[in-house]
A and B are shown apart, each in its own frame.
Chain A
Amino acid sequence: MRRVVITGLGLVTPLGADVETVWANLIAGKSGAGQITRFDTTGQKCTIACEVKPADHPWGFDASKRVDFKVVRQVDPFIVYGIDAAGQALEDAGLTDMDDDLKTRTGCSIGSGIGGLPGIESESIVLHEKGPGRVSPHFVHGRLINLISGQVSIKYGLMGPNHAVVTACSTGAHSIGDAARMIRDGDADVMLAGGSESTINPLGVAGFAQARALNCSYNDRPEQASRPYDKDRDGFVMGEGAGVLVLEEYEHAKARGAKIYAEVVGYGLSGDAYHVTAPHPEGKGAELAMRMALRKAGMEPGDIDYVNAHGTSTMADTIELGAVKRVLGDDLSGASMSSTKSAIGHLLGGAGAVEAIFCVLAIRDQIVPPTLNLDNPDEGTEGVDLVPKVAKKRVVRAALNNSFGFGGTNASVIVKAI
């Protein structure tokens, strides 16, 4: 069977716009949360978010570095973040100069949960105030979810599979799993896989607040608002950004002497069949996804050393923990489990990819990132290492990432040291 390895990484997050800066900030226990600066939050129930920082910030994002001026003007930020993260991943993998043959065997699977909501909101206002003749000719292709994969393929000449997952907050994980399958099935030798999101706009924030999903009670303490597993958690904090990985067929990577971070060994998917926003109260869907990923990886519970939890800082955290306990054992068979959403917020469609990259880096550096703000762990967390507040050095041979999305869509991905 064709094996799939990870040979390149790219990140744009509220803690930095390159992999090493993000990882250093995450391990140092920094938070990317703050007051929303993108728009006037007057009247909003939630006024905080984890924004990607502007170019003049010490760990800010400079769109002009990898994305054409015209593209930045014409498309929504989620596409810009995705193009940049894909470029980083290709550079990291040493694949910026591919021959034509390899380009036909290299594809893209970069999705988003929501897509161009800020542009939909602003052009809708243009339509109503100025009429149809003033709507931008770039409106549609600048908002479509598959336009990260589209733009990246055009920029780098990639003619392999061009795919884009849309499964809400499971998008990033499904993107990786689906892309790994495409390589395994021989559809491609190299895939750029990941997810991106940017919906910190008035409509996005209001919509999630009205769905009772956002934290609206820590507006005066933004860095403490995302507190997975804590008794006082009260909803997620919206993040934004992108994560993209280069997945590559193992023999192909070996033959060109590529740096190999880890192997994608397990992928599980399931549906909750329960409710549009709430998880199944017994976490059955989450359990099914994790069990499938373990089975496909041919691994036992004790083989997993780190779980990067979905852990959004909502009531669902303990439901997920219950499911993890049923799969890995009450003590998680010694695994550590943390939620990095405590530091970068919830990147929605980008979350699964960004967090899979954190799993890869945990394996590379043998350290697991912390769960911030875990002051009073909720009932049911006893005996589980949730890595409170401080990163922890430990053996990490394999790591599991969970992602669950609205609509009851679940995905688990396992990566393992090679």
Chain B
Amino acid sequence: MSDTADRVKKIVVEHLGVEADKVTEDASFIDDLGADSLDIVELVMAFEEEFGVEIPDDAAEKIATVSDAIKSIDDNKG
């Protein structure tokens, strides 16, 4: 996993209280990690803080999996 992926994984574990090995890149936040839509909003805020990026709302709404989140962070890095 990339550095971004490692840091994303850590945040997901801290916020959702899931086992680290469940946070694979193709894991769905809602279907596999027990999140709801508000949890994703909170996770996006945490990613923005951690990586110093701004993820626009329309991009944030499309985040369904861990890899979507990683891609979104990388896309928005200045």
Q: Is the CB of B45 within 8 A of A73?
A: no
Stretch at the interface among A131-139, A185-193, A207-215, A272-280: A131-139
B interface, CB within 8 angstroms of A: 15-17, 34, 38-39, 41-42, 45, 49
Q: Is the CB of B38 within 8 A of A138?
A: yes
> In the complex, what residues of B have CB within 8 A of residue A68's CB?
17
The reply on A57 being an interface residue by CB < 8 A is: no
When C-beta atoms are compared, the residue in chain A nearest to B39 turns out to be: A70
Cα of A123 to Cα of B17 in the assembled complex, Å: 22
Query: Considering the chains assembled together, what is the distance between the CA atoms of A138 and B35 in angstroms?
Result: 13
How many contacts between A and B, using CB within 8 angstroms? 21
A102-153 contacts to B, CB under 8 A, are 133-134, 136-138
Nearest opposing residue in chain A for B34, CB measure: A70
A: interface residue count bin? under 10
Q: Are A137 and B17 in contact (CB under 8 A)?
A: no
Ordered by A's residue number, 21 sampled pairs between the chains whose C-beta atoms are within 8 Å are A68-B17, A69-B16, A69-B17, A70-B15, A70-B16, A70-B17, A70-B34, A70-B39, A73-B15, A73-B17, A133-B45, A134-B45, A134-B49, A136-B42, A136-B45, A137-B38, A137-B41, A137-B42, A137-B45, A138-B38, A138-B42
Cα A133 to Cα B60 with chains together (Å): 13
Closest to B38 in A: A137
Q: Closest Cβ of chain B: how far from A68's Cβ, in Å?
A: 8
A326 to chain B, nearest CB (A): 53
Give the distance to chain B from A42, nearest Cβ to Cβ, in Å: 28
Q: Which residues of A contact B45 (CB under 8 A)?
A: 133-134, 136-137
